[in-house]
Chain A
Amino acid sequence: MTEALPAIECRGLFETYGDTVALDDFSLVVGKGEVVSLVGPSGCGKTTALRAIAGFEPPDAGSVSIGGRTVFSEGVDVAPEKRRVGMVFQEYALFPHMTVADNVGYGVTEEDRVERVGEVLDLVGLTGMDHRLPSELSGGEQQRVALARALAPRPEVVLLDEPFSNLDAPHRDRMRRDVRRILRDAGATAVFVTHDQSEALAIADTVAVMRDGHVVQVGSPLDVYQRPADPWVASFLGESLAVEGIAENGVVKTDLGSFPVDGSVEGPVRVIIRPEWIVATPAANGEATVIDLEYYGHDQMLVLELAEGRRVQARVGRRPVLERGDRVDLEFQEAVVFPTD
């Protein structure tokens, strides 16, 4: 019956602490079974938004519904324990005085406990760890227990607050894949909060980019990266180069050259180019000189200097093999254009 209703619907949330505005007309709709990442710089209000959904911090105004049920609006404020929201905290927040099984079974009714605990522990790959204490587990294992605990009561949604920030890099990548798989296997609806844009892009079906207390763009990872809503989103989500130019009759002219543009844009514009949208071809009398290069193995980042002393960064594959001082010709394959006025 509630099939068509979104799993989470936030409308116009506002919250201020003293002088700081944490949420400023925050709205977000998450469909059933969707995995959404909520990404933004620190202090943009993303954790506050998550806590408003979970019910830990009632906002000043707005409405929240979960699974079609209004849990917050004028005169309504459902307590966190009645919202059917699973929460995975940044520091996991496992109950240190309880075993893994007790932690995971905490939110499950007595009669289902044993069975459900076994089920979720299998799901997160911790079969047989029932009697361990949290302090006896590695960071990654604690993370899995936290996720299992949140999933065990079959919540409407799972909220994850910077879940990977306490893991070191190699573990983080693996955990990210595992969590994605677990959430998909469980058919869960999930919202991740993260400040790491590559994590946000990698993990989610949908990315919601947040700034100054509200969502500025929602879309697939590809969408938000390739077609950012504004220059700020463009530079927040990845490395980019911005050049000013003038658009006229479907062409933008900049210091770096001319780009085709949608005919409706006229006048001063800002052109955003990502390093990997630039192709560098070795040429004896190329227009740019390689000033510096960082070789990463799977690819390399070139720092190039153009004729007028202007520098650009280009990400290129393992080839061409270049050295400092080599000259290259540049081709700009893509660009995003924003009117400036």
Chain B
Amino acid sequence: MTVQAPWGPEPAVKVVGATEAAPPQSRTGRKAPWWMWVAGVLIVLPLVLPLVFLFFRVLGASDAALDILFDLRTAELALRSTVLTVLVTATAVAVGVAAAWVISSTEVPGRKAWGVLVPLPLVIPSYVLALSFLAASGPRGTLATVTGWDVPVLDGLPGAWLALTLSTFPFVYLMVLAALRRLDPALEDAARGLGASRWRSFWTVTLPQLRPAIGAGALLAALYTLSDFGAVSLMRYAAFTTAIYAQYAGRIDRTPAAVLSVLLILIALVIIWAEQRTRGNAAYHTSRPARRRSRQRLSTGERIAALGFLVSVVTLGVVIPVVVLTTWAWRGARVGETVTIDWGAVGGSLVGSSLAAILAMAAAIPIVVLTVRYRGRASGWLERTVFVTFSLPHITVALAVVFFAVRYLGPLYQSLTLLVVVYASIFLAQATGATRASMLQVNPSVEEASRSLGRGPLQTLRSVTVPLIRPGLLAGGALVFLTTMKELPATLLLRPTGFDTLAVRIWSAANELFYARAAASALVLLGLSAIPLYFLVLSTKESSE
């Protein structure tokens, strides 16, 4: 069994030796047809070329670049980004591990429901979480209006910290939960049998085995925090991403933005590299499918503490956002503020996300065929490229595309076509991840049968392979649709004039403190997200039955 993280292209944790009836995938057979390789390379070029160009541009501007690099303000930015990343990662690990352990290993009441509710903040964009805390706090905020207390505004570092912790702890939670489910309960039982207390066995036996999962989750959280633009900008916490945006938007010379982007990309690459390594190691400790774990009994006090913890996590991550957004939207409507649904933005979101999803599904086919059927060095690089471009901060990728497009693409710059291509390229990894899972279930013999019955490679792809991987393709498409709809920085940088999405609307309204208007758009966004989410849940249910 593999656990597919909903945001990631790869199975989050690979289980070594698990009895999955997947057919053998690659025999040293024929080489892939040349046009498949051409397609594969063409698919990664739209992001690879601009990123390469960005590096050369910065190298070309070396003097100016060095000045900016050693500027004190750059050092300050680095420090601020680091502080935020460390704080968020630490709390995300604490919350994620605790929640995973309580839900999977204790007899806390309502475990099934908590299992659904706790990871829910994952589908709420970070800027929506930030918006709801801003709208809840402060003298005009929901809390103040309801209670009449004097509530300070929750922004800056504490605000960004809270919003991003809620956005990122589900990564840790899901990874640790998967690891806990695979743990051999006999080990813990053995420790208890040798006289260790519950705590001692947790610290000395369970936790060390969870370390790779925690590490991978923590690095994902760190990467997400470092890359986040929406929450930090609304919370007015100056970090790398916001500085890049400010330099890009406010200056004629865009070299500083390019330099900061390259710096951020390099930091992100280190984290991605470390995360991949940890994730690779995450497989070693797994064992055969474990029998059912016996769950820890809880005393009344412990039960109350555990429940209190879960309630506050869900309150902060789900209840407050939904309640606050609803009250603001409703209140705004009552005082006659223009909170009518902006159909232009809804249309923009739907059009952009649908086109991106379709394009990503089409592009996923050759990539998955190459990486699954024709495993090798070249296809390995292709796979890595797709994954890395997905993991880099979107603002840096978008900025690279802007530079490249202004210089070489002329009319394509700020066109819907370019925006959709960038969306599809960034989120391609999600489409290939889901499709890959389907592809692994297709026995290569089926394709060989088609070949020996007289059909060429393209006809075989069309009449056999694609129909068989359709469930994965559709799931991947739904995932791309979902994430594209939430996408903010790339949209801000690359959207055509007059093209609006809900994400942009929410962000700019919140930025100008029009919380009611932002809240209404945010509710629409969450509502629209529920549609692909519903299909995703449905498709995973079907495939597991």
A interface list, Cβ under 8 A from B:
17, 51, 54-58, 79-83, 85-87, 89-91, 93-97, 106-107, 149-150, 153
Lowest 9 A-B CB distances belong to which pairs? A107-B453, A93-B445, A80-B451, A89-B445, A93-B449, A87-B452, A93-B446, A97-B467, A81-B454
- The reply on B443 being an interface residue by CB < 8 A is yes
Decide: B451 and A81 in contact? CB cutoff 8 A: yes
Decide: B23 and A55 in contact? CB cutoff 8 A: no
Decide: A56 and B30 in contact? CB cutoff 8 A: yes
Q: How far apart are the CA atoms of A81 and B448 in the complex, in Å?
A: 9
Q: How far apart are the CA atoms of A150 and B449 in the complex, in Å?
A: 8
- The reply on B300 being an interface residue by CB < 8 A is no
Q: How far apart are the CA atoms of A91 and B443 in the complex, in Å?
A: 9
A-B contact pairs, 10 of them (CB 8 A): A56-B27, A56-B448, A80-B30, A81-B454, A91-B443, A93-B443, A106-B450, A106-B453, A149-B449, A150-B453
Contact of A97 among B443, B449, B455, B468 (CB under 8 A): B468
Closest to A17 in B: B28
Closest to A109 in B: B454
Apart from A95-B449, A95-B450, list 10 A-B contacts with CB within 8 A.
A54-B452, A57-B30, A79-B456, A80-B451, A81-B453, A86-B452, A90-B445, A95-B464, A96-B468, A107-B455
Decide: B450 and A91 in contact? CB cutoff 8 A: no
Decide: B30 and A89 in contact? CB cutoff 8 A: no
Closest to A15 in B: B28
- The reply on B29 being an interface residue by CB < 8 A is yes
Shortest CB-to-CB span from B442 to chain A, Å, is 9
Residues of A within 8 A of B468 (CB): 96-97
Decide: B454 and A153 in contact? CB cutoff 8 A: yes
Residues of A within 8 A of B28 (CB): 17, 57
Decide: A55 and B452 in contact? CB cutoff 8 A: yes
Interface size class, chain B: 20 to 34
Decide: B455 and A87 in contact? CB cutoff 8 A: no
Q: How far apart are the CA atoms of A153 and B451 in the complex, in Å?
A: 13
Decide: A58 and B30 in contact? CB cutoff 8 A: yes
Q: How far apart are the CA atoms of A51 and B28 in the complex, in Å?
A: 11
- Residue-by-residue, is B35-56 near A (CB-CB < 8 Å gives 1, otherwise 0)? 0000000000000000000000
Q: Which of A55, A81, A82 has the most CB of B within 10 A?
A: A81
Residues of B within 8 A of A94 (CB): 446, 449
Shortest CB-to-CB span from B20 to chain A, Å, is 16
Interface residues of B in 445-480 (CB under 8 A from A): 445-446, 448-456, 464, 467-468
Q: How far apart are the CA atoms of A55 and B447 in the complex, in Å?
A: 13
Closest to A22 in B: B28
- Residue-by-residue, is B76-101 near A (CB-CB < 8 Å gives 1, otherwise 0)? 00000000000000000000000000
Q: How far apart are the CA atoms of A61 and B30 in the complex, in Å?
A: 15
Q: How far apart are the CA atoms of A331 and B456 in the complex, in Å?
A: 62
Residues of B within 8 A of A89 (CB): 445, 448-449
Decide: B449 and A81 in contact? CB cutoff 8 A: no
Shortest CB-to-CB span from A68 to chain B, Å, is 19
Interface residues of B in 190-237 (CB under 8 A from A): none
Q: How far apart are the CA atoms of A282 and B260 in the complex, in Å?
A: 98
Contact of B29 among A57, A91, A107, A150 (CB under 8 A): A57
Decide: B29 and A56 in contact? CB cutoff 8 A: yes
Decide: A80 and B27 in contact? CB cutoff 8 A: no
Residues of A within 8 A of B27 (CB): 51, 56-57
Q: How far apart are the CA atoms of A94 and B447 in the complex, in Å?
A: 10
Shortest CB-to-CB span from A193 to chain B, Å, is 13
Closest to B460 in A: A81
Decide: A80 and B23 in contact? CB cutoff 8 A: no
Closest to B448 in A: A56
Closest to A18 in B: B28
Q: How far apart are the CA atoms of A95 and B449 in the complex, in Å?
A: 9
Residues of B within 8 A of A58 (CB): 30
Q: How far apart are the CA atoms of A87 and B451 in the complex, in Å?
A: 10
Decide: B451 and A56 in contact? CB cutoff 8 A: yes
Residues of B within 8 A of A51 (CB): 27, 29
Closest to B453 in A: A107
Q: How far apart are the CA atoms of A87 and B446 in the complex, in Å?
A: 11
Decide: B451 and A107 in contact? CB cutoff 8 A: no
Decide: A87 and B456 in contact? CB cutoff 8 A: no
Q: How far apart are the CA atoms of A57 and B28 in the complex, in Å?
A: 7
Q: How far apart are the CA atoms of A86 and B455 in the complex, in Å?
A: 12
Q: How far apart are the CA atoms of A9 and B464 in the complex, in Å?
A: 31
Closest to B467 in A: A97
Closest to B31 in A: A58
Closest to A83 in B: B452
Q: How far apart are the CA atoms of A95 and B27 in the complex, in Å?
A: 20
Decide: A80 and B446 in contact? CB cutoff 8 A: no
Given contacts A56-B29, A96-B468, contact A107 B454 (CB under 8 A): yes
Contact of A149 among B445, B451, B453, B467 (CB under 8 A): B453
Given contacts A57-B27, A91-B23, A95-B446, contact A80 B464 (CB under 8 A): no
Q: How far apart are the CA atoms of A93 and B444 in the complex, in Å?
A: 8
Q: How far apart are the CA atoms of A85 and B454 in the complex, in Å?
A: 9
Shortest CB-to-CB span from A306 to chain B, Å, is 48
Contact of B452 among A85, A90, A91, A96 (CB under 8 A): A85
- Residue-by-residue, is B15-38 near A (CB-CB < 8 Å gives 1, otherwise 0)? 000000001000111100000000
Q: How far apart are the CA atoms of A51 and B29 in the complex, in Å?
A: 9
